[in-house]
Amino acid sequence: MISIQTRLKTFAYRWYYRRMNRLAWEGTPLPEIGTSSLQLPLPELTLAARMYHGSRARPLIIYFHGGGWTIGDLDTHHPFCLHLAHQTQCTVMSIDYRLAPEHPFPTAHEDAMAASRWIIDNLNALAPNNGEVVIAGDSAGGNLTLATAARLPDEPRLRGCLMIYPAVQHYHAAMRSYTEHAKSGPLTTSIMRWFTDTYLNGLAPADPAIELMFPDRRVPLTGFPRSLLVTAEKDPLRDDGRRLANALQRAGVNIQHEHFAHEAHGFPCSEGPTPGHERFMALAKTWIEAISAR
């Protein structure tokens, strides 16, 4: 049962996140791209998604929004997804996975996996794409990207992963960035801990069940798809991303790690068209072009 305190805190965080994202992009001209609303007919439920139409010469990007598995939706990341589709020329499929506390672990991870499987199996019926996919996401969505790709080790149509400051391990790991940047940006250490605790709903850090959420603890990363991993300096998750980049490199994965030394958590998605956002978009464009040109 969800406590009244948790319900109120969740409502406040969701309201604030939607408002700040809306204000960040207010008055900014957005790319004019064809969009479609979909209901993905998954085995256990129907899941909403928004598709941004791109080119048949590019892979389709499956996108999982951030928000600590508890906040965020298709609208909070709508401007970002428009820009991502415009810059990369990819069709982008933004997934409205279910959120905690109403739907605790492993719901978001199971939704991400089921949606990815359905999209991969139905590429020919979707907006233009070249028959391949890239899985992408920011923060909690970066975690869903990592976890989903780890469950698709032999999928030939999965050509890459784009992970933006992903959550990679439990805060119990006591990473230095959780202390150094506890209050450096919009994502504070206390908020990140609340997100994790709310989603895990009482599961202990050592519980084997959460290997689904943090797969690099024991799951081999050999054979993981080509990856672009972005980290921000002023972010409690900074060391999460660095740790993953090192693990992927040791596993022989084609990994490009780009660290934004002057940015905070949320810079590509939630702050509007800043120089950091523009630099990220140029980076994503070049990386996608390299995959498509192979």
Can you give the residue ranges of every domain in the chain? 4-25+34-292
Q: What is the pLDDT of residues 143-194, one digit of tens each?
A: 999 999 999 998 999 999 999 999 999 998 889 999 999 999 999 999 999 9
Of 9-18, 59-68, 115-124, 285-294, minimum mean pLDDT range = 285-294
What CA–CA distance (Å, rounded) separates 77 from 99? Answer: 15
Active-site hit among 138, 216, 235, 240: 235
> What CATH number does the domain located at 4-25+34-292 have?
3.40.50.1820
139 counts as catalytic:
yes
Structure-token match 């479609």, residue found = 36
Beta bridge partners of 164: 138, 230
Q: Is 260 helix (H, G, I), strand (E, B) or coil?
A: strand
Question: HSE on the CB side for 173, CA within 13 Å?
Answer: 17
Q: What is the pLDDT of residues 192-245, one digit of tens each?
A: 999 999 999 999 998 989 999 998 667 788 889 999 999 999 999 999 999 999
Q: Is the Cα torsion angle 56, 284, 16, 169 positive or negative in sign?
A: positive
pTM for the model:
0.97
| For range 247-254, the mean pLDDT | 95
Angle subtended by helix axes 78-88 and 275-292, to nearest 10 = 50
pLDDT of residue 173: 85
265 counts as catalytic:
yes
pLDDT of residue 293: 79
Angle subtended by helix axes 189-200 and 4-25, to nearest 10 = 130
Active-site hit among 78, 109, 170, 265: 265
Active-site hit among 116, 139, 177, 184: 139
pLDDT of residue 217: 66
Q: What is the pLDDT of residues 254-274, one digit of tens each?
A: 999 999 999 999 999 999 999
